[in-house]
Structure 1
Amino acid sequence: MAKDFKKIADTIVEAVGGEENVSYLNHCTTRLRFVLKDDSIPNDDDVANIDGVLQVLRSGGQYQVVIGNDVEHVFNEIHIKNDPGAQSSTQAESTTKEPIISRIFGFVAASMSPLMPAMLGGGMIKVIMTLLTTFGLINPSDSTAVILAAAGDVFFYFLPVFLAISASQYLGNNPYITMIVAGLLIHPNLVGLFAEGNTTFFGLPVTAVTYSSSVLPILLMVPIMYYLERFADKVSPTVLKSFMKPMIVIFIAIPIALVAVGPIGSILGNYLSMGVNYLYSQAGWLTITLLSIFMPFIVMTGMHWALVPIATISLAELGYDSILIITMFAYNVAIGAATLAVAFKNKDKNVKSEAVASGISAVVAGVTEPALYGVAMKSRQVLYAGMIGAGASGLYAGIVHLAAYSMGTSPSALSLLQMIGGEGNANFINGVVALVIAIVVGFVASFILYKPEEK
């Protein structure tokens, strides 16, 4: 029977306090992400028991309703006019009691998650380009190859602009004003000035930094511009506000971005990447193993989105990522395999159907929430089996230094295509071995540990 997405949507909105209690709503690949005016209204158990809802989470000032693969269908049935101004006020109130680290991660996660479809789409274009050139189907110098390469690079090159939009929408800034500052960071004329050296702005030194594909500079600027907009609104006369307010914001933001925040953000990003890669170089096998094992708990909090900048920085600086994509690859496949084992052992047709659909979704598409919340959290043996499989696969990946050379689909079996690169075929072969380990160990461990409930 086809799901009634409108009924699911209406029930969820009513359960969170109705449209009047929602100041902002967006979604990622599996979750509805609400910012509520009064987050004490919804009863988590009641919302979690709604047909079509897998789990409810509160993180980073957001009320997250996990739907799974059908999230976009449900989202499209919810007709709520987002009010960024109300959201920003609500956000400030709802996060004041949270630890600063939680608030920061919540901001980064909320800024990155809406961009995932574009990121994954661009990444897959790069994967297709790699396949076409690797197998000699097109010449890398042909115009077709150049166009495909450009299409695959667009998202990553203009990442500061994309982040300006999503982060501004989250905080309540005017996204178009923020985009001007983000666009300035990668403007060809500015890049040309940096190449000449000794760049200044009204006598202030401007550090030459490459901002394309950067994450932290614009994420640091958006909160600053939030307060700049409030300041400009207060000092601008009403009759002149339409042009004076944005002019003041942009004029003040330029030196802040180019002289202070931009270079600091770039330096922090580089040190973050260097720090993570240092840990990886010193004990790569241990780093990848532990991250793979504990990835389900990271996913539960929604903080896996906040780790995406580490992967984008690694891809931009090193040309590959050996940490986030690899650990999520190991976990996603292993939890999917562990879920599929449930279908083999359980005789209940409904459980079988759910386990098969959830398992395939995790292994093939990298969407693990249905497997995690629909199956594994109901039977901890399945969760433990997935962690065992992920750990075994992560251990092997860490030992052989498995790497992904592009950001493609949500890490899954298809991510093997991202592992084509480096010298020879060794990396791709190691990827196949890591995939087999995750599937076999995850499935076998679950088959042994899982005990179907007797009725």
Structure 2
Amino acid sequence: MSKKYEKLAQDIVEKVGGSENVSTLTHCMTRLRFALNQNKKADQDAIKALDGVIDAIESGGQFQVVIGTHVEEVYEEVVKYIKHAENIDDKLSNEKNVSVFGKLIDFISGTFSPIVPAIAGAGMIKALLALLILFNVVSKASQTYYVINFMSDAIFYFLPFLLAYSAANKLKMQPCTGTCVGGDIASSESGPIANCGQ
């Protein structure tokens, strides 16, 4: 594993109050999410000033350090400097300093975060298609339009499965089991899956 972020990881752990102040640690797509024993021990301004840190905020009972898309690499280094690393987990249900609302927000954000890039990509394709139509490059009756439109809609067709897979990872259950449950729920609704045998 690269040591590129070793110094940054050391500085972050030091400035959140040391490893003994870290109760749990997880990360989303761009942020390290700390549940601290005492938030007042964290030096928010000093963390913001670190080279490699975009921002530091307190939200939903968590102390969040915004890193960027390379957050996973930083996370792997940070864990090395936390003494009880084997106890770090993204389940915050037992944390007294995190409200029920905070836990709910954490679950929702943790479930949707992995899917956001795919939804953003679909939106960009939709925008491209709109421009192609606006400048008369393609028409709504053309095969090109149908292909591009299908590409942009694909994420939404399979969204129940993707959400089920992501939620299963967040809940620490078997992803395949979660995906099957998502498929069962989707098939119980009216739609192509429910109607395929009719």
Is TM-score (shorter-chain normalized) higher than 0.5?
Answer: yes
Give the secondary-structure state (helix, strand or coil) at the position aligned to 1:79: helix
Who is 1:146 aligned against?
146
| CA distance, structure 2, for counterparts of residue 7 and residue 173 of structure 1 | 34
Q: CA deviation at 1:163?
A: 1.9
> For the structure 1 residues 62 and 154, does the alpha-carbon distance in structure 2 shift closer, same or farther, using more than 3 Å as the test?
farther
Matches within 5 A, 1:393-412: none
Identify the match of residue 42 of structure 2 among 44, 49, 53.
44
Q: CA deviation at 1:116?
A: 1.9
User: What TM-score comes out, normalization by structure 2 length?
Assistant: 0.69
Gaps of 5+ in 1: 197-455
> For the structure 1 residues 103 and 27, does the alpha-carbon distance in structure 2 shift closer, same or farther, using more than 3 Å as the test?
closer
| CA distance, structure 1, for counterparts of residue 27 and residue 12 of structure 2 | 14
Q: CA deviation at 1:164?
A: 2.0
Who is 1:34 aligned against?
33
Matches within 5 A, 1:40-189: 40=37, 43-45=41-43, 46-60=46-60, 62-67=62-67, 71-79=68-76, 87=89, 90-94=91-95, 96-187=96-187
Q: CA deviation at 1:99?
A: 3.4
Q: Is the 8 A contact 1:35 1:91 kept in 2?
A: no
Give the secondary-structure state (helix, strand or coil) at the position aligned to 2:32: strand
| CA distance, structure 2, for counterparts of residue 54 and residue 78 of structure 1 | 15
Q: What's the % identity of the aligned pairs?
A: 27
| CA distance, structure 2, for counterparts of residue 64 and residue 74 of structure 1 | 12
Q: CA deviation at 1:159?
A: 1.9
Give the secondary-structure state (helix, strand or coil) at the position aligned to 1:87: coil
| CA distance, structure 2, for counterparts of residue 78 and residue 33 of structure 1 | 7
Q: Deviations over 1:171-219 (max 9, x none)?
A: 32322211111123334664217x97xxxxxxxxxxxxxxxxxxxxxxx
Give the secondary-structure state (helix, strand or coil) at the position aligned to 1:98: coil
Give the secondary-structure state (helix, strand or coil) at the position aligned to 1:91: coil
Q: Is the 8 A contact 1:61 1:91 kept in 2?
A: no
| CA distance, structure 1, for counterparts of residue 137 and residue 152 of structure 2 | 18
- Give the partner amino acid of 2:93: A
Q: Deviations over 1:380-418 (max 9, x none)?
A: xxxxxxxxxxxxxxxxxxxxxxxxxxxxxxxxxxxxxxx
| CA distance, structure 1, for counterparts of residue 168 and residue 25 of structure 2 | 12
> For the structure 1 residues 25 and 101, does the alpha-carbon distance in structure 2 shift closer, same or farther, using more than 3 Å as the test?
closer
Who is 2:194 aligned against?
191
Which is greater in Rg? Answer: 1
> Paired residues, what number?
179
Higher strand share: 2
| CA distance, structure 2, for counterparts of residue 74 and residue 86 of structure 1 | 16
> For the structure 1 residues 12 and 165, does the alpha-carbon distance in structure 2 shift closer, same or farther, using more than 3 Å as the test?
farther
- Give the partner amino acid of 2:70: H
| CA distance, structure 2, for counterparts of residue 176 and residue 8 of structure 1 | 36
Higher RCO structure, 1 or 2 (CA under 8 Å, sep 6+)? 2
Q: Deviations over 1:348-392 (max 9, x none)?
A: xxxxxxxxxxxxxxxxxxxxxxxxxxxxxxxxxxxxxxxxxxxxx
User: What TM-score comes out, normalization by structure 1 length?
Assistant: 0.34
Q: CA deviation at 1:139?
A: 2.9
| CA distance, structure 1, for counterparts of residue 74 and residue 63 of structure 2 | 18
> For the structure 1 residues 73 and 33, does the alpha-carbon distance in structure 2 shift closer, same or farther, using more than 3 Å as the test?
closer
| CA distance, structure 2, for counterparts of residue 22 and residue 98 of structure 1 | 11
Q: Deviations over 1:259-304 (max 9, x none)?
A: xxxxxxxxxxxxxxxxxxxxxxxxxxxxxxxxxxxxxxxxxxxxxx
Gaps of 5+ in 2: 80-84
> For the structure 1 residues 78 and 134, does the alpha-carbon distance in structure 2 shift closer, same or farther, using more than 3 Å as the test?
same
Q: CA deviation at 1:48?
A: 3.7
> For the structure 1 residues 190 and 74, does the alpha-carbon distance in structure 2 shift closer, same or farther, using more than 3 Å as the test?
closer
- Give the partner amino acid of 2:92: Q
Give the secondary-structure state (helix, strand or coil) at the position aligned to 2:173: coil
> For the structure 1 residues 44 and 185, does the alpha-carbon distance in structure 2 shift closer, same or farther, using more than 3 Å as the test?
same
Q: Is the 8 A contact 2:31 2:66 kept in 1?
A: yes
